[in-house]
Structure 1
Amino acid sequence: MVPGLAYFLLFHYGPMVGSVIAFKDYVPFDGLWASQWVGFDNFQRLFEDTDFWQTVWNTLYISVLQLVFFFPVPLALALLLHSLTNDLLRRFVQSVVYLPHFISWVIVVALFQQVLGGTGMLNSLLGDAGLHTVDIIGNPDAFRPLAVAQVIWRDAGWGTIIILASLSQVNEQLYEAAAMDGAGPWRRFWHVTLPAIRPILILLLILRLGEILNVGFEQMMLQRTTYGPEVAEILDTFVFFKGIAGGDFGYAAAAGLFKGVIGALLVYSANRLAHRFGEQGVYR
């Protein structure tokens, strides 16, 4: 456990000391402790900034779309793979759906642009068929569904690993007993499969809620210029442009601290709710 603990101490808990700059007018040349203390001034500016609230709305909008449309996909893929009896076919499908996870966001965004761009493959096929072309890449109204589709294509296969591991622990005799009692595939899923994997699904949901404001820096950063900050600006890119690019470190740190506090409250609330339903949750 020592390497894992060292990683979290050095790269997660240690840097939390730097959150103090959210309460300071931080100047790198003066240092962390010598910079002027301003209290909650950075937070007051933050909460009065309309661009910040637009960024929060964009982040929540995309996160909720991902939660609603992405979360069920790994479950469906895991059930599909678990139902395959041909071991060779199962391994082939697993390899195909896992592979996109190891592709960088630069390549993923480029692939979607090549397929869905104005001169991409889709519009070329529509044009050759004499049909109207579609404007997807560069259309702000299409960005949020497109961002969700990119996440599903890239990470849905990877998300099936934990669910597949849970499905492998379900006693096959339960399925046989349910089938002998006349239960069809849907009832076997509802009364055998789902109760068996419910704890892991709740655990994954709680962890996902904790990262609901963590949409994906690289994915949004690569497409922010194309679609505009009005729809593609999220909290992570907001912090980057205000802090690293703009030099207003205290203001950016306040935005980052706001994001961390909201995420912690969501994890705590979801975990308490899981306890009320008799589940273990993330912690007791």
Structure 2
Amino acid sequence: MAKQKQQKNHLGKVNLGKHLKKEWMLYSFLIIPVLYYIIFKYIPMFGNVIAFRKYSGGPNIFGQKWVGFRYFKQFLKDPSFWNAFRNTLTLSITYLIFRFPITLTFALLLNEIRNLKWKKFVQTVSYLPHFISMVIIAGMIKEVVSLTGPINTMIESLGGEKISFIQEASWFPPIYIISGIWQGLGWGTILYLAAMTGINMELYEAAKVDGANRFKQAIHVTIPGIMPTIVTLLILDIGGIMGSNFEKIILLYLPSTYETADVISTLVYRMGISGGNFSYATAVGLFEGVVGLILVVTANLVSRKVTEASLW
């Protein structure tokens, strides 16, 4: 038995070596993304040691005074942290609740379009906002909801009073969620549409024979066929709940909207980059990363038991 296992391992290594030698040009495309993650994702993780040291700047992050969990205790007692933590969960979960089913529904509707020219036109129009710079997106949002924008113009024409949407804390979540759905709706359908192309067309033919209409075909054939993709994307979205859209929020929020707009990433930016409290900001960022990891692992375990589909 031991000899057989050794022979299998040897054959596996030989086959893998031959495959890598044969497809080296294909695997060479992995060099850049692998280097990207090593340089910009894994190496910076050593900087998390700052959260346990009294860091005041400079390249020697390991030579600073060790203070243990001092900054973790500090931010856990900070009301501004808990406000940012609550806002992060509120914005991310609400956005996920609305965006996920809307994106899936839009993908199903796109898949039902039989006119290829019209389908390409709809896809192009829906994809376009994703490629617009976030700075331009934020500028467009501010113009639309400004006192002289189209929304307030319509409100005034109907006899109402103008609303300063961008300066009122209560209006920030709707602005963030609606604009996010508009910006990512088309782009979010790409993986769904790609998964739909792999569904066996004979299943649709069988459903037609059984008398299923388009709606029933989507429910009983299309959705089960792309369920692994749905589950995978849902797990990734749950894991990203703690990571709100930093660029968009920091371009839109104001001190008057901190109550509902300030999230963990903007708090880290203000405390670390703007305020110079690097250790405190690193501790908050590390806490955010750990919570995100727990969410991903938990969602993956639940998905594996419930749907038998998971990331690993």
**Please, what TM-score do these two structures have when normalized by structure 1?**
0.95
> 1:31 matched to which residue of 2?
60
2:263 to 217, 234, 248: 234
> 2:214 matched to which residue of 1?
185
Using the alignment, how far apart are the partners of 1:105 and 1:30 within structure 2?
A: 32
Greater mean deviation of Cα atoms: 228-237 or 50-59: 228-237
Change (3 A) 1:134 1:175: farther
Using the alignment, how far apart are the partners of 2:59 and 2:107 within structure 1?
A: 54
Change (3 A) 1:203 1:30: closer
> 2:183 matched to which residue of 1?
154
Unmatched 5+ stretches in structure 1: none
1:25-70 Cα distance to aligned partner (Å, 9 max, x none):
1121472011110000010001111110110000000001111001
Change (3 A) 1:82 1:226: farther
Q: Is the 8 A contact 2:244 2:263 kept in 1?
A: yes
Secondary structure of 2:187's aligned partner? helix
Deviation for aligned residue 1:134: 4.4
> 1:67 matched to which residue of 2?
96
Q: Kindly report which structure 2 residues correspond to 1:126-205, keeping only aligned pairs within 5 A, or say none.
A: 126-205=155-234
1:168-210 Cα distance to aligned partner (Å, 9 max, x none):
1112221121121122333222211111011000000111111
Q: Is the 8 A contact 2:53 2:279 kept in 1?
A: yes
1:101 to 114, 127, 130: 130
Given the alignment of the two structures, is residue 19 of structure 1 paired with residue 48 of structure 2, yes or no? yes
Using the alignment, how far apart are the partners of 2:128 and 2:271 within structure 1?
A: 35
Deviation for aligned residue 1:136: 2.6
Q: Is the 8 A contact 1:46 1:251 kept in 2?
A: yes
**Please, what TM-score do these two structures have when normalized by structure 2?**
0.87
Deviation for aligned residue 1:238: 0.4
> 1:84 matched to which residue of 2?
113
Which protein shows a greater Rg?
2
> 1:248 matched to which residue of 2?
277
Instruction: Give the percent of matched residue pairs that are identical in Structure 1 and Structure 2.
Output: 39
**Aligned-CA RMSD value:** 1.5
Deviation for aligned residue 1:219: 0.8
One-letter identity of the residue aligned with 2:184: D
One-letter identity of the residue aligned with 2:238: L
Using the alignment, how far apart are the partners of 2:291 and 2:189 within structure 1?
A: 27
Using the alignment, how far apart are the partners of 1:134 and 1:180 within structure 2?
A: 56
One-letter identity of the residue aligned with 2:201: E
